[in-house]
């Protein structure tokens, strides 16, 4: 299910703050569709098998830290504010958008003095790509 795209940056930040309160208890869930239970032109109920669960706080433990030599694979940090939109404990969220047509965000976990990009998203009207890993 795609998350709704607010019409302004202010709305996005308000939604982010509401969801942000539970970031420490959030998780990524890998599922496999097993069957369609019901479907209409607009939606469907599906049965899934949960194959893996990764709590957000365990991403750095699950994936070894890596550096990326080709910085062009990630967007320029200049697109993101110097200051995070939200911070809770060791987690910080940085985001950007261009008139809500395209955008992106980073979820950064600070471990000691190192910042780790553990989740990264780029989105537009036609795609929504999320990376999960451990980039330092």
- The CB density around residue 49, as the number of other CB atoms within 10 Å, is 10
Encode pLDDT of 27-54 as tens digits: 888 999 999 999 999 999 999 999 999 9
In the prediction, which pLDDT does 36 show?
A: 95
Q: In what order do the strands lie in the sheet with 102-111?
A: 86-88, 91-98, 102-111, 114-124, 128-135
Reading the block at residue 81, the tokens are 């504010």
Determine the 3-state secondary structure of 89 from DSSP: coil
Does the predicted TM-score (pTM) go above 0.95?
no
């Amino acid at each position: 299910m795609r998350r709704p795209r607010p019409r302004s940056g202010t709305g996005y930040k308000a939604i982010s703050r509401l969801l942000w309160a539970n970031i420490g208890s959030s998780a990524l869930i890998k599922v496999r569709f097993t069957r369609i239970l019901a479907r209409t032109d607009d939606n469907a109920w599906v049965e899934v098998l949960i194959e893996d669960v990764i709590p957000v706080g365990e991403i750095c433990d699950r994936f070894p830290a890596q550096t990326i030599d080709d910085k062009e694979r990630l967007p320029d940090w200049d697109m993101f504010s110097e200051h995070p939109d939200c911070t809770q404990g060791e987690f910080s969220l940085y985001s950007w958008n261009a008139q809500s047509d395209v955008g992106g965000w980073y979820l950064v976990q600070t471990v000691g003095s190192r910042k780790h990009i553990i989740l990264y998203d780029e989105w537009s009207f036609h795609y929504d790509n999320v990376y999960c890993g451990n980039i330092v």
